[in-house]
Structure 1
Amino acid sequence: MSVGTLHTNIVLDDPTKIHCGSRDPVRGHINIRYQFGPGNLNAELFGPLRVIVVLHGRAKTKIWKSNGQSTSIYRGRAPLIHCEQEIYHDSFRAQPGEMSSFPFSLVFPEATQSLPRDDFKEDPRFNTLPCQPLPPSFRSNYHGFAHRYESFVEYRVGVNVEMPQLRVDVVKPTEYQEPIVHYEPPRISPDQSRNHITTWRGFVSVRNELLLPESDRPAGFRQKTKALFGAGNFPIYAFDWECLAPTHIHLGQPVCFEVRIKPREHECTATLIPDVQLKYFRMDVSAYTQVRADRAIFTCPESEGNYTVCEMTGVIDSQEPFSKANDNTKYINTAAIGSGRIGSFASSFTTFNISQTYTTKISFAFELTGKLKHIDQEYPILIHPPLEVAHHPPPAIAGPSSQAVGEENKTPDLPQYEPAPPYEKMPTNTK
């Protein structure tokens, strides 16, 4: 007969924190409450106790395939890590109803471990190495016309409790009750984030009556109608443009662009130089997710999804037209990328059964002589983990502090995640 039951609970100090790499520990505590057993009322519990905390992670996929008459479901399971840490091994004493707390601090390994997993064939789109960088926390559910899948990468904290010399029942959280820990690969230093720029170029040319002196412009209905069909007689204003766009983007950071113009003097016949303004600037980020399941008879069933994860309007440094005063250059900044996204906006990665890549589409327009000239450009990008944060020097022994009160433990503005629901209960989005 059991002398009682130990009820365990896992509590994270900061459940919403994103842990970047192996130097960013996961901290929390294990609560253990003792409940006496039948015939052992109000009896104190005393004996050796061992508490082990487990950090484990996996990448999982679920793919639907239909032949028009029936639908088959295929799954891909890839365990990533399983790390155990003993946080207590000593004598333990507890009264009925008493709660004891055991703190822990866990660190992520730097790479996946060689764990048993489903059979995945070699494929350049996926990483099948037994020891590879840990993928970030991730979730994508897609239901398109020809493809449907669910996929996630998740990390959880579990616990094992033993009292080897006593008959004690242990109640611990099930796998789906264990708290989720949010992970991103190690932060990137600012020096590594530079010089990843691509330049897009083009030119704009306009020809209309607004390039004439005001006294020479058509007046009245007849003249305007005649001018409409004789536009070839109007002067021309033309300019080259170039847009400097980053190809490497960091979570939690704004994205910065530059747009420049240069008049084509040998083609410009207008005596009046029109104002050229940058009317708007937009950036849309699309994700391309490829997933696969366990190897079937001949191949691994696959699915894919292409969907928008971010739509942002760039803030232009000023509404003034391009001019020599601003070097004919406009600077554009977006809001911090990934902020407010829940799980689906992770850094680029590939692992055993999931590959996540991104493209961005930039759209902007020049306005001159009452006309808008629209520009669109789409290109691939790499999404990186957040940048390293600056470490403040230790405070001086004497003298006033320059740091504001309450700012000592302030965390940087990073994209936030929320715990994902159990795999079987994850919702499916329709695209």
Structure 2
Amino acid sequence: MPLTICLNNQRPCYSGNEPISGRLIFQCSSPTNVRDIRVTFSGRAKAKVQKVKGAAAPTASYRSKCVLFERERILSHPDGETIAPGTYEWPFDFVFPSHIQSPPGSRWPEKVPFRSDANHPLPPTFAAETSNSLRRLDCAIEYRLHAQVLKPQQGIMGRKSPWLSETVRLTFLPLSAKLDPNGNSNHAPMYQQQKEQVFNIRSMLLLPENRGRGLKVQEKIQSWLSPSQLPRFSFKASFSYPTCVIQSTPLPCFLDIASFMEDSSVTSPPDILMQSVSIAVISQTAARAAPSLMGAISGQTDERIEILSRTSLAMSVSAKIDLGQAFGPLVLRHTDVSFGTFNISRTYRLCASFKFECAGKTTEFDLPDLPINIIAQMERDENRRILDLPEEDSPPSYTSASILSIRTFEKS
């Protein structure tokens, strides 16, 4: 290749504040006039939002592009002079930022789930094409090194595009989206959130002598006419779940059933049977285009990821149950980490549903919208480096790349 980017510390994935160094190699086969040679390191979030009209083709596309950061190095500036044939190289170095370094401007208004605050955390590398009956979304967050060899411009209408160019794309995952060795995330604390609901049961079947049989027609009529006279029983169902979920690992979810005998008129608690259980994660991809001649538009699409679904259980529940032990590991298959930026976001929510039967009465415990964050686990070697961090929590340095001196158009 006449133009090649060679990285000294190429990694499968980078994090914030990591150095990136390398060399740009230019092979010139004939005498050439060159204006300058440069390398640009940048991050961009690009989105395309389309309306969908039934089964017909989408309408016009609404596009947005946000420059998250941009750094440029002019490695050589011959300013139109002729360079001789040969192989040339120049070193360059950058530092991967950890936060957005472009002002949001007035065209990014505050709107959930997007972010409009300046200097918010840099989002991870991301790509998704998704659609529903209303919107079609094409989203990408990319980070790249882009090298260019530019020739002198001839006149006002002369060539402005580069004569030669080369691009290397980099994968980025912020430390704020990773789990540290102590089991904590910098993005959000790892703890169990609990949701609960109290159920009140009134039925003649709560009486010990009536348990295990069905009500006669006369008893049903009597129950309907005098509900306040029926025996009563109360119990509380509590569901606890993690606020952060590690990619591709089991979810620690628990169901706790507690009887309230002090609020009940029966002397002993009846059987509570769990008839069905359902747990799923909803991933939402959202994108928006800033106001333009065509106006502004936003859209979001949901994908349901089934974790657990069981029916016809007739399972007696009376205390705390580890749902992972009862039904097998509740594994969330690999998916993108949670993030938000000016024009693209990926968020998640947990949905859980339980159906109980007690004394012939059926009750439902529905939890349709429980927010969670998806975080990534560091690789083992990264964990080892994090453990060696000094007290000021400076970022890890994965390589010690040698510094090369710049040789302006000297043959290598």
Q: How does 1:24-423 map to 2 (within 5 A)?
A: 54-64=40-50, 71-84=59-72, 107-114=95-102, 120-125=107-112, 126-129=114-117, 131-160=119-148, 172-173=165-166, 178-186=168-176, 187=178, 190=184, 193-195=189-191, 197-203=193-199, 205=201, 207=203, 212=208, 226=217, 229=220, 232=223, 238-251=234-247, 254-265=250-261, 266-267=263-264, 269=266, 273-274=270-271, 276-277=273-274, 280-287=277-284, 289-296=286-293, 300-308=295-303, 310-313=305-308, 321-323=316-318, 328-333=319-324, 335=330, 337=332, 339-341=333-335, 345-351=336-342, 353-366=343-356, 373-383=363-373, 385-386=375-376, 390-391=383-384
Alignment pair present for 1:19 and 2:14 = yes
- Give aligned pairs, total: 343
Q: Distance in 2 between matches of 1:12 and 1:205?
A: 69
Structure 2 stretches lacking a partner, 5+ long: 77-84, 151-161, 224-228, 389-397, 399-412
For the structure 1 residues 86 and 369, does the alpha-carbon distance in structure 2 shift closer, same or farther, using more than 3 Å as the test? farther
Q: Tell me, yes or no, if the aligned pair for 1:211 and 1:274 is still in contact at 8 Å.
A: no
Letter in 2 for 1:358: Y
Tell me the CA shift for residue 365 of structure 1: 3.5
For 2:79, the equivalent position in structure 1 comes to: none
Q: Tell me, yes or no, if the aligned pair for 1:6 and 1:34 is still in contact at 8 Å.
A: yes
Q: Tell me, yes or no, if the aligned pair for 1:151 and 1:291 is still in contact at 8 Å.
A: no
Q: Distance in 1 between matches of 2:376 and 2:299?
A: 27
Deviations 1:231-256 (A, max 9, x none): 94997654221222344445465433
Q: Tell me, yes or no, if the aligned pair for 1:249 and 1:384 is still in contact at 8 Å.
A: yes
Q: TM-score, normalised by structure 2?
A: 0.61
Structure 1 stretches lacking a partner, 5+ long: 41-49, 89-94, 163-168, 395-408, 410-431
For 1:426, the equivalent position in structure 2 comes to: none
Give the fraction of aligned pairs with identical amino acids, expressed as a percent. Answer: 18
Letter in 2 for 1:308: E
Letter in 2 for 1:305: Q
Q: Distance in 2 between matches of 1:378 and 1:208?
A: 32
Q: TM-score, normalised by structure 1?
A: 0.59
CA RMSD of aligned residues (A): 5.2
